[in-house]
Amino acid sequence: MNDFIVHAGDDLQAAFDRAPEGAILHLTAGEYRRKAVLRTKGLTLVGEGAERTVLVWDDYAEKIHADGKAYNTFRTWTLAVCADGVTLRGLSVVNDALHPESKGQEVALSVYGDRFVMEDCTLRSTQDTLFVGPLPRDLIARYDGFLPDELRADRPLSQRFTRCRIEGTVDFIFGCGDARFEDCDIRSLRDARNVGYVAAPAHAPEQAEGFLFRRCRFTAEDGVRGVYLARPWRDYGLARFEDCVLGAHIAPEGFDKWNDTDRDKTARFYETPPVPGRVPWCNRWQKASQSFAPAGAKGT
């Protein structure tokens, strides 16, 4: 049998490291306060419900690491998945550092594996809650020697999130993965800076899938307003929103071009059914052989 039981008092990293390929780890109810990396192919983590089984840690970008350098966004994760074929069900992954206005980014889950599946789970943090890899190629080169190779994978990666709740404030779903979100609750939280952005895609121009939000519900804490559905973290960022239910907190323009950049000229943002009043560069598509290219696109 490849089924194992892990208790909240156990060493979560040790449990991951000794699990054989394809094993199922049943995480009993409780708080697992531990930063951990999952490197076992085909591993399945099953909790006792998102409110009962909670993996949590509190690193943040401005925190000083043991190497004397700031953690940076990409070392703040609570859980990093670096293996292919991993599935998570019925649990939460949380970064509870809080106060991103002074602490910077605070990642809960980073996914660097292909064919990742998450079902009936909760992800909770503030800024940069969920990173779906790989990194943009310029950062893969920049972080050589700073991030370990397992966090610098330069290959296509796909992820699927079903019936999940994802909470955050700024760019809280970001990356270059081909990530599908179906029947999820995407919840914007209050931010002391009075800003809010849900998705920050950074896909390469040859990618034709990008982020897909299908039948998702976009909700918010009381008082949250002016949240944008997406802004392009890099040129050609791709995000599609299909048959979603949007709360009153979503800004009428829908999308932002990212500060003073010209990424509106290449961003690939699509919303169906179309919503009146959106930015003019939304839904600007040309489709051929299942690839999308925005009108007027130019090289980076």
**Hey, is 149 helix, strand or coil?**
helix
Q: Mean of the pLDDT values across residues 220-240?
A: 97
Domains along the chain with CATH numbers: 3-292 (2.160.20.10)
Which pLDDT score, from 0 to 100, does residue 290 have? 38
pLDDT of 286 above 60: no
pLDDT of 215 above 70: yes
The chain-wide mean pLDDT, for the chain, equals 94
Which pLDDT score, from 0 to 100, does residue 284 have? 83
As a 3-state breakdown, the chain gives helix, strand, coil percent values, each rounded to 5, of 10, 35, 55
Q: What percent of the chain has pLDDT over 70?
A: 94
Report d(CA 254, CA 60) in Å as an integer.
29
Q: Which of 125, 145, 143, 121 is nearest to 133 (CA)?
A: 143
Q: Mean of the pLDDT values across residues 179-191?
A: 98
CB 194 within 8 A of CB 163: no
Beta bridge partners of 54: 31, 92
pLDDT of 289 above 70: no
Is residue 285 very low, low, confident or very high in pLDDT (cuts 50, 70, 90)?
Answer: low
Report d(CA 265, CA 284) in Å as an integer.
10
Q: Cα angle vertex 240, ends 239, 241, to 5°?
A: 125
Q: What percent of the chain has pLDDT over 90?
A: 93
Is residue 292 very low, low, confident or very high in pLDDT (cuts 50, 70, 90)?
Answer: very low
Q: Which residues contact 259 (CB under 8 A, 6 or more apart)?
A: none
Q: CB 136: neighbour CB atoms within 10 A?
A: 18
Report d(CA 119, CA 122) in Å as an integer.
9
Element (H, E) at 100: helix 100-103
Is residue 54 very low, low, confident or very high in pLDDT (cuts 50, 70, 90)?
Answer: very high
Is residue 274 very low, low, confident or very high in pLDDT (cuts 50, 70, 90)?
Answer: very high
Residue 60: both structure tokens together: 């943040």
The dihedrals phi and psi of 141, each to the nearest 5 degrees, come to -70, -40
Mean pLDDT lowest among 217-231, 239-253, 271-285 = 271-285
In the sheet with 79-81, reading across from the earlier edge strand, the strands are 36-38, 79-81, 109-111, 130-132, 170-175, 197-201, 228-230
Q: Mean of the pLDDT values across residues 266-270?
A: 96
Residue 86: both structure tokens together: 């991993």
pLDDT of 129 above 50: yes
Report d(CA 283, CA 275) in Å as an integer.
10
What tens digit of pLDDT does each residue of 154-182 get? 999 999 999 999 999 999 999 999 999 99
Q: CB 14: neighbour CB atoms within 10 A?
A: 12
Q: Mean of the pLDDT values across residues 69-98?
A: 98
